Amino acid sequence: MTAPLIRPARPEDEGDLARLDRETWSHLFAVMPRPEPGEPFFRETCGPDAHLVAEHDGRPVGYIRLGHPTPLKSNEHVQQIRGLAVAEEARGRGVGRALVRAAVAEARRRGARRITLRVLGHNTPARALYASEGFVVEGVLPEELHLDGAYVDDVLMGRPLV
């Protein structure tokens, strides 16, 4: 697989991204219930402008979602990675890394001073990817979530952009 094209999401990506979300869903990283067929991917608070898409051979193979961690004016200077998914056939080929790098660049473009994320403690592949891209653990909420019959840590990671 050649390097994916990373581009802003478009409204017409709705169906492909909804399918990707359903196909990649797992308790390894998801805190929300499995998306249902026909459930919209874009929402009023999280539309195409909040997403970057990895495209290969004209087809979305991944996405990353960016947004503010809270609606507070006092932390407008922070962008947060609020979701990342890579199609099974594209994993291990640099797609996730390209999306994280693109999200960091986009956060800078938006004027952010910091970028943060939350990742489940047992998601070691994602934690390793984020650490390799300069994110550090800034806090751990032990057993914060109960998923698939087990208590799971919520790990807070971040990095400066200036």
Tokens representing 92 are 């291990």
Residue 69 confidence (pLDDT): 95
pLDDT tier at 1, thresholds 50, 70, 90: low
Query: What's this model's pTM, rounded to 2 decimal places?
Result: 0.95
Residues 31-54 have pLDDT tens digits of: 988 899 989 999 988 999 999 999
Q: Which candidate, 26, 101, 114, 98, places its Cα nearest to that of 62? A: 98
Pick from 143, 140, 132: nearest CA to 157: 140
Is the predicted pLDDT of residue 78 greater than 90, yes or no?
yes
Centroid of chain to Cα 47: 14
The pLDDT tens digits of the residues spanning 108-132 come to: 999 999 999 999 999 999 999 999 9
Task: Name the token pair of 82.
Answer: 């609020």
- Whole-number pLDDT of residue 28: 79
Strand order, beta sheet including 51-56: 5-8, 51-56, 59-67, 78-86, 114-120, 150-160, 136-147
CB pairs under 8 A, 24+ apart, for 46-52? Answer: 46/82, 47/11, 48/8, 48/9, 48/10, 48/11, 48/13, 49/8, 49/9, 50/9, 50/82, 51/8, 51/9, 51/13, 51/17, 52/6, 52/7, 52/8, 52/9, 52/99, 52/102, 52/103, 52/106
Helical H segments across the chain, by residue range: 14-24, 95-109, 124-132
Q: How far is Cα 69 from Cα 67, in angstroms, rounded to an integer?
A: 6
Number of H helices, E strands in the chain: 3, 7
The tens digit of pLDDT for each residue in 129-152 reads: 999 999 999 999 999 999 989 999
Residue 70 has pLDDT above 70, yes or no: yes
pLDDT at 110: 97
